[in-house]
Structure 1
């Protein structure tokens, strides 16, 4: 029996745990590996300017120390001394000259810093934009250039996550955050150097805490890198699950698998959430420790500094003066603050390095069969002689299953040879080896005497035309799909190829003819129509070698006869290799090779092999056991397809916008609505918000404490100065402890809130997608690639407007409000002077946000389109490789990206200016404050108030400026929130009605009453036109008709994939609209011609047939036995625990079909829906499976769409459907006697 020794790779590859590679992070310098000469110049210039800016900023404490010393000296000389008016006036003039000089210097500093910050931001962002475009380009090109064995162990669903999230993170790590970080570090180093020069003893005392800070942040940076890697892995796995589920949405819906898929998806999200909350805790611990260390340093610095000043008081040349102490203190404080502000960027760089590791590992991987290396011979005067010499082969992913065992075969140029054998015997492997998808393990394959390995790979594949049993079309027009076979073809060439494939007729009847869009994977066409276009695509290549794997299996008899004649005619000029189950199609082959267990057991012509009366004779006799077992024209519609296009009517398949979706897209979303997405976490947000306020108020409070310290220094009473200084230092220590706890709690609470919301939104978005009606997925913009891109990025981006960002905003606002309050309390006039600069910063933020919002829209549009294109190509890589379309898809992808990157390059200048202004306005504000403050001091205003007001307001301004660094994330978050709300608010058109019924048992009567139906994307085209059909309990009804007549639509309506426009569909006495959806589908079992299997074990795939309970092992084995697949499964090393991999691509068609049949049988349905359930099986397997299906039909209502006459002759009723109506019905004998349409089809079959 053919089942015992299957040699399909079974997926060979997936019988063990998928070998997901352990990818390590790259070094930071490696992130810039694709920087060109221009990029390096930009980066070098940016570094120079940011270091200049850092040097200047590190010098500003010196200027501040000087002006502070001048102020205290002026106060001591004028307010604590009795002096004449003349001396007072001279001192005042000198003091104002000093203040004026300080003002000019600070304004100059501001101007230079604006220029430096603008330049370095523009340089790094522009370079990052260029590099990321190149990396996207190289990444996709390298993905397409990988050999097929690489795809066998890498999930293509993970690809969309790499293209979106990982490259976002990579871009974030090499752009403007780098000069920001370098600026902070330059200030840190410069400030410490100045502090040591000005007063090394005091500086060292202040710096005692530095080693602790470095160790803490080094350890936490290492830990966060590890956690970031785990986050990427978890979200990558979630993306792979989403891609698999959405691409098989009809299977998921039909078997009520939504809950199970949600659980699978949620498990990855839950891991990511817990992982990221740990990361938030570590961040809070690091920041809290830093603030405690910084404020403890403040206390120690002031206490020790005042002590040094008092000890040297009266000395003619004191080492430490007030000016020195302030300079050293502010240098250390500035350095520490900038060290702290640099810390968040370390995490961004760690994440970028982890993302870079994943992306670059693909780019660096050199495939064994390398398409990109344009090497190898190109034979002149190619004839087409193919020879296999002692070829052995096992799939690289698992070497313990030998697929071909010493195969020797010779195919002469121009000959037509056929490969036959039981399902899974290795026939398709031969076809894949000829295309060099794989190389033989041993032996060699030659073309005209040359080893295939020595030939140019692209040239080789261009000599080959290939048509598979499950043809893949791309989301383009019919003309473009055919032209993919030969990009240089003319319009006339396309028409001629379509005529040869018998496709021209139905194409010209479409409203847009050859410009008709076929939808994702050709979903808008019936199976037969797709196959004819695929044949036209192969023929237009005018290949010397033609590979046909069941190329006409999906055609009705009339179409098959014409196409077969065209192929027979064409094959006279080609070397043709045919893989066929229907042996009648290969009768005239020059040679037939019979495969069994990976070896050739017979070879010869049809007559020669029939004379031998061995294996081939047995196969042929099984098929011709009755002349009436011919094939009937009725297979074009596939149940697991989107709407079919009717051949007999002019149907337009262009997508039509859904008005609801269009309206939802136009809805605006306010910041309030975005924040409300986080409302469920209000306790965490409340606690985090309170601690953010505490944190925000600590900054202006520092100004008050600092002002008090400065205020006592002019007092001549040393004891008073010591006492007040001790109090102030204690306040610093208390503030540090409060800051440490508030920072830890703030990070933890907002981390929990943000991660829970991200998990919830991802989960809700995925569930929202799963509950949408099938018509939702028919829309072009809702392709699998686009939906996966939204799912990966939108929910995470919302966190850019919530979570930790809320804490940043709250603390910034608290700083500003408290600072304004203090300024009004101490000196309102000075407060207004400082406050005048705040609107400029807010205005800059407004324009930055508006600009970033437009850029975000552009990026979202281009990246969704480009990602969808890339995912489509990668998902169908075998077709892409066969047609040599790698460069074509790559070019389309790049063309979609370029508009965004061109616009991004233009807006970079505005971003640089706004950020530069935000970072330098504080210097202009401080210059104004000190100038006006100096004037007020001369009017007897207590000088400490000038410091308190100016320091408080400047810190408020700085706080807002720092939050501006995250404005792009915030803008992306608001934009993403709009998309999320659109999905969550969309109500599916097919859903449970109020008071719907739950049916525990049904009899199985099915009835269609005056049903009219048109697909949502084509509302003006009627598919069913008043269909009346009744299927009684326990009866079998077969649906027959021309290609695209609406047969599969009948099945889709009972499954409620769609609802009728008018009329009713009944199950027993209940309108299906009144039955709860899960309950309805639980009584239906479906098997289609193109079954979808999941990346699970065989056991899980069969058990998927009944997701309402835990299916017992013995039930699974029994279902497998009934489907004639049990023996094959138990011969595998892991048996029922064998993992199938993505879509079961390594299984033969027959093996996949039998697992799908077992899956349908496991649910013991009352109504069985069969759409070509045995079409992919060889004769031997078909007989056994057909017997199993015949048994399964007993006691069940069965609706079958049949390809072979033998499978429906015993049906209780056969219905002929034409133009959306039943035009004939009766038993086989009755319809033959009627001599109508069925009789003509039957007669044609038997010619």
Structure 2
């Protein structure tokens, strides 16, 4: 990579960053995200929504049952009999929510997978149907891969289980408020004061996270673009020109931007979550104070007050709990906007347009009449300035000229990659604009300097010329292309995999496969764009012989830099400053010493004085000269940004084979090793520089984890005061109200610090891991990239997804682990301190919860890895298709690419659906066990209270602290799921 190219990429990355900062506020309406849902998806969403609503009513109804239990214990007599009747409602709720949970998770996961696959395929279809100018100025391969691997994941989250979770929590919110007002409207009305701050906290957090997410995704997209460009050009631009350090520097710059966005996201999330928790504790403070007044003055009961308070705060907390789902939906809406914007874009030159003239056949007469053309990427530069050129049917026209004169532009116009701004391009006297595009491209074959092969077998690569070709036709085309000898010497012959960009073949072998592909197309017009200029002498001789065979009787346009290769052409046209300056046969043109052709010959002779010309190749229609070490003849219009994107997925001249022509027939197949698991300890070792920050973050998370066990003590004390005499009730309720205010302040500070510090530590780790991984990748030996699992598309997707999982593990989920661990330990400690005998009798339910988590994780472990590998393979299809867009367009292979991509995604979808079903079973069982545990706790507590002299004290001091550890058990699933993902990462270092 040269300095100019690297600077260009950096400038384009900065430009992309500025442009996409504005996209955070742009999003599609919620229901518009479901525009691609089928009838089956509609049914799944309907069932999932109803199930989510049923599941959401579990919490409101549980507050009623809980209040009834409190009144049973507070009554003092027949406690066991009363509680035994009430706890049956917990069992009923458990069964109902278990069934609803399964339907909710499985239905929404299933429809999310189905719709996301459909969107992925339609997005790829929309990208592939864009004209070439779109890839000049609007889209690079890295951006395409990033959107396919990142934006589609965000959309899938917004279409799937997160919607079900939101519907569940919305139902909880509405149900709790209805119960609160029915049970006591006065207290419920006062408790409404908690709602506006909660909604405000959520709204601010959601908006900030959406904007920050858009900026982070933009940085990831630009970084992914660098990865794709670098790996795609690993042999030529990177290794050959020592571009590793420049690529690493640019990549690190972009990951630093992503780090800043990660820290900002931590601050925003901390403020929002801390605000929600603070409002929660303030609500209880208000409840203790005002509830006591209502008990004294309005005759409310303790259970009634508890029911109203729990209902109102559970409802308001449901909004806070829904914040991750709502944030995911908001991010999905922003991602959907970016995807749908491309999907709705209509190209000026549409390959899917079925209108236009279709003839029985064409003669191949080609004419450019007074053509003016500027490239969209460089509108200020006029490339063709009134150029006129006529190529009679069946003749060979050589087009020569200085670099930038417009030679390759003529080829692009004949293929109709672009339309001229003025003038006409005619075939058989008919303007190609009026012809059906797919049909006319089917009559034209293009062989370029850079043979573009796909990561599949030799046979499949050749059949891009004719998809339904028989094996005999394939072999005949290979024979005409002088490829039969080396193909049949390979272990798997025509079934041999060529590797990414044909990396396991030499330059000459790749070019002959490309020629066989062109032959199989049976073209009427053949376009040769520097087809032999990047080959060594022996390879050029063999390839030239193959070209000579197929050029007979076909209209041929040859763009050439070395003039000695075209001296036998039927006509030579010299292009200068966008016009045909001179034309004729070689012998006539050299007679004019002042002519443009003679001038070009003298320039080449001067340039070849230091590089001796290769000997004349006898028997060849066209003669070979020295191997050109420059590619200045490539007058491609692409600016630096697009040019670098073109290198991704394209195979340039292979330096590895260029100097070993004698070994051209040798194909080296590399063995791929089984993926290794990354040790968790190494990840934490990589976080050592942030050890002080992590220590402070863990302390903040510990304080966060202490909140609910401490609150359970306050809750039990506050509820107990509701059954005291009036004078003591006034005094104690004020005390507990002030304690809750203190908890509100502590929660606001600790949670903000927790999210900020873990954001810094996690962001630094992901920046470090990305940098080390990318550095390790580009320093691998060339053969390492021959492994299909190490293709540019797979590595680009893996760097994004795996690094994201690592950040979640050491950032968000480490915080959850610390919180849950502290809550569990403190909750159990309080319970043991209250009554160790009762605690031991109830602790028997814990193994069931642990077993449920273990079974669920074992299933998710296998499914997640399989789907991950399949999506990486699908990403490689996208990388090759976009990187080789001219080849795809020239051979009309858009539908074939989409079919291959859809097939790979279908397998991933099936794994995702299976994972969703298993997850549904797991969460269903988790809900059932939770309600059964509540029932058991209350029943066993009532059994012990039956013989106690202080029944309510026993209940409040023991039973309420149990809520904290039991509620934290399901959260462990999140930690272990992410841990498993990280352990399954295949690290390339």
C-alpha change, 1:540 and 1:278, in structure 2 (3 Å) is: same
* Residue 942 of structure 1: aligned partner: 951
Q: Whole-Å Cα distance in 1 between the matches of residues 301 and 535 of structure 2?
A: 97
The more displaced of 831-840 and 798-807 is 831-840
- What is the DSSP-based 3-state SS (H/G/I as helix, E as strand, rest coil) of the residue aligned with 1:602? strand
The more displaced of 956-965 and 805-814 is 956-965
Query: 1:603, CA displacement in angstroms?
Result: 3.1
Q: Is the 8 A contact 1:526 1:645 kept in 2?
A: no
Q: 1:237 aligned to 2:239?
A: no
Q: Is the 8 A contact 1:525 1:645 kept in 2?
A: no
Q: 1:203 aligned to 2:185?
A: no
Q: 1:122 aligned to 2:106?
A: yes
- What is the DSSP-based 3-state SS (H/G/I as helix, E as strand, rest coil) of the residue aligned with 1:983? coil
Q: 1:802 aligned to 2:810?
A: yes
Q: Whole-Å Cα distance in 1 between the matches of residues 916 and 627 of structure 2?
A: 56
Q: 1:105 aligned to 2:127?
A: no
Query: Which of 488, 509, 521 is the matching residue for 2:468?
Result: 488
Q: Is the 8 A contact 2:425 2:431 kept in 1?
A: yes
* Residue 719 of structure 2: aligned partner: 710
Q: Deviations over 1:3-46 (max 9, x none)?
A: xxxxxxx99x9999679676433233232221111111111221
Aligned residues: 940
Query: Which of 381, 385, 398 is the matching residue for 1:418?
Result: 398
Q: 1:698 aligned to 2:720?
A: no
Query: 1:327, CA displacement in angstroms?
Result: 1.3
Query: 1:559, CA displacement in angstroms?
Result: 6.3
Q: Whole-Å Cα distance in 2 between the matches of residues 67 and 475 of structure 1?
A: 66
Query: 1:956, CA displacement in angstroms?
Result: 1.6
Query: 1:420, CA displacement in angstroms?
Result: 2.1
Q: Deviations over 1:974-999 (max 9, x none)?
A: 323xx2xx333xxxxxxxxxxxxxxx
Unmatched 5+ residue regions in structure 2?
1-7, 618-625, 630-651
Q: Whole-Å Cα distance in 1 between the matches of residues 105 and 454 of structure 2?
A: 41
C-alpha change, 1:292 and 1:892, in structure 2 (3 Å) is: same
Q: Whole-Å Cα distance in 2 between the matches of residues 15 and 331 of structure 1?
A: 50
What does 1:664-1063 correspond to in 2, within 5 Å?
665-666=675-676, 668-669=677-678, 671-715=680-724, 717-940=725-948, 941-964=950-973, 968-976=977-985, 979=986, 982-984=987-989
Query: 1:678, CA displacement in angstroms?
Result: 3.3
* Residue 132 of structure 2: aligned partner: 148
Q: Is the 8 A contact 2:798 2:872 kept in 1?
A: yes
Relative CO higher for 1 or 2, CA cutoff 8 Å, sep ≥ 6? 2
Query: 1:432, CA displacement in angstroms?
Result: 0.5
The more displaced of 830-839 and 144-153 is 830-839
Unmatched 5+ residue regions in structure 1?
1-9, 76-90, 313-317, 985-1247
C-alpha change, 1:566 and 1:177, in structure 2 (3 Å) is: closer
C-alpha change, 1:513 and 1:714, in structure 2 (3 Å) is: closer
Q: Whole-Å Cα distance in 1 between the matches of residues 368 and 115 of structure 2?
A: 46
Query: 1:52, CA displacement in angstroms?
Result: 2.0
Query: 1:114, CA displacement in angstroms?
Result: 0.6
* Residue 271 of structure 1: aligned partner: 257
Q: Rg: which structure is higher? A: 1
Q: Is the 8 A contact 2:504 2:669 kept in 1?
A: no
What does 1:208-223 correspond to in 2, within 5 Å?
208-223=193-208
Q: Whole-Å Cα distance in 2 between the matches of residues 266 and 560 of structure 1?
A: 41
Q: Whole-Å Cα distance in 1 between the matches of residues 199 and 305 of structure 2?
A: 25
Q: Whole-Å Cα distance in 2 between the matches of residues 585 and 255 of structure 1?
A: 28
More helix per residue = 2
Q: Whole-Å Cα distance in 2 between the matches of residues 437 and 718 of structure 1?
A: 87
Q: Whole-Å Cα distance in 2 between the matches of residues 65 and 563 of structure 1?
A: 86
C-alpha change, 1:886 and 1:692, in structure 2 (3 Å) is: same
TM-score (norm 1): 0.72
Q: Whole-Å Cα distance in 2 between the matches of residues 53 and 734 of structure 1?
A: 33
* Residue 187 of structure 1: aligned partner: 172
C-alpha change, 1:207 and 1:838, in structure 2 (3 Å) is: farther
Q: Is the 8 A contact 2:198 2:319 kept in 1?
A: no
Q: Is the 8 A contact 1:674 1:801 kept in 2?
A: no
Q: Whole-Å Cα distance in 2 between the matches of residues 15 and 109 of structure 1?
A: 54
C-alpha change, 1:646 and 1:56, in structure 2 (3 Å) is: same
Q: Is the 8 A contact 1:798 1:974 kept in 2?
A: no
* Residue 653 of structure 1: aligned partner: 667
C-alpha change, 1:342 and 1:966, in structure 2 (3 Å) is: farther
C-alpha change, 1:948 and 1:150, in structure 2 (3 Å) is: farther
* Residue 1232 of structure 1: aligned partner: none
Query: 1:437, CA displacement in angstroms?
Result: 0.5
The more displaced of 191-200 and 759-768 is 191-200
Q: Is the 8 A contact 2:945 2:954 kept in 1?
A: no
Query: 1:607, CA displacement in angstroms?
Result: 5.0
Q: Deviations over 1:744-787 (max 9, x none)?
A: 11111111111111111111111112332333334343222222
- What is the DSSP-based 3-state SS (H/G/I as helix, E as strand, rest coil) of the residue aligned with 1:595? strand
Q: Is the 8 A contact 1:675 1:801 kept in 2?
A: no
Q: Deviations over 1:686-744 (max 9, x none)?
A: 222222222222212222222222323333x3222222222222222222222222111
- What is the DSSP-based 3-state SS (H/G/I as helix, E as strand, rest coil) of the residue aligned with 1:642? helix
Q: Whole-Å Cα distance in 1 between the matches of residues 438 and 29 of structure 2?
A: 35
The more displaced of 734-743 and 107-116 is 734-743
Q: Whole-Å Cα distance in 2 between the matches of residues 383 and 470 of structure 1?
A: 28
Query: 1:134, CA displacement in angstroms?
Result: 0.9
C-alpha change, 1:606 and 1:771, in structure 2 (3 Å) is: closer
* Residue 639 of structure 2: aligned partner: none
C-alpha change, 1:288 and 1:535, in structure 2 (3 Å) is: same
The more displaced of 930-939 and 803-812 is 930-939
C-alpha change, 1:323 and 1:35, in structure 2 (3 Å) is: same
Q: Deviations over 1:425-484 (max 9, x none)?
A: 111111101111111111222222332122222211111111112222233333333232
Q: Whole-Å Cα distance in 2 between the matches of residues 595 and 636 of structure 1?
A: 20
Query: 1:648, CA displacement in angstroms?
Result: 5.3
Q: Is the 8 A contact 1:703 1:949 kept in 2?
A: no
C-alpha change, 1:622 and 1:759, in structure 2 (3 Å) is: closer
* Residue 63 of structure 1: aligned partner: 65
Q: Whole-Å Cα distance in 2 between the matches of residues 834 and 521 of structure 1?
A: 63
What does 1:536-547 correspond to in 2, within 5 Å?
536-547=516-527
- What is the DSSP-based 3-state SS (H/G/I as helix, E as strand, rest coil) of the residue aligned with 2:835? helix
Query: 1:377, CA displacement in angstroms?
Result: 2.5
Q: 1:641 aligned to 2:621?
A: no
* Residue 366 of structure 2: aligned partner: 386
Q: Is the 8 A contact 2:145 2:797 kept in 1?
A: yes
Q: Is the 8 A contact 1:703 1:947 kept in 2?
A: no
C-alpha change, 1:344 and 1:399, in structure 2 (3 Å) is: same
Query: 1:410, CA displacement in angstroms?
Result: 2.4
C-alpha change, 1:441 and 1:922, in structure 2 (3 Å) is: same
C-alpha change, 1:326 and 1:593, in structure 2 (3 Å) is: same
- What is the DSSP-based 3-state SS (H/G/I as helix, E as strand, rest coil) of the residue aligned with 1:754? helix
C-alpha change, 1:842 and 1:591, in structure 2 (3 Å) is: same
Q: Whole-Å Cα distance in 1 between the matches of residues 542 and 769 of structure 2?
A: 53
C-alpha change, 1:113 and 1:676, in structure 2 (3 Å) is: farther
* Residue 594 of structure 1: aligned partner: 574
Query: Which of 288, 307, 316 is the matching residue for 1:336?
Result: 316
- What is the DSSP-based 3-state SS (H/G/I as helix, E as strand, rest coil) of the residue aligned with 2:988? helix
The more displaced of 389-398 and 628-637 is 628-637
C-alpha change, 1:333 and 1:15, in structure 2 (3 Å) is: closer
Q: Whole-Å Cα distance in 2 between the matches of residues 336 and 777 of structure 1?
A: 53
What does 1:402-481 correspond to in 2, within 5 Å?
402-481=382-461
The two structures, once aligned, show a CA RMSD in angstroms of: 2.9
Q: Whole-Å Cα distance in 2 between the matches of residues 20 and 724 of structure 1?
A: 58
- What is the DSSP-based 3-state SS (H/G/I as helix, E as strand, rest coil) of the residue aligned with 1:836? helix
Query: 1:537, CA displacement in angstroms?
Result: 1.9
Query: 1:146, CA displacement in angstroms?
Result: 1.4
Q: Deviations over 1:769-814 (max 9, x none)?
A: 2332333334343222222222122111112322121111111121
TM-score (norm 2): 0.90
Query: Which of 612, 615, 628 is the matching residue for 2:596?
Result: 615
C-alpha change, 1:631 and 1:426, in structure 2 (3 Å) is: farther
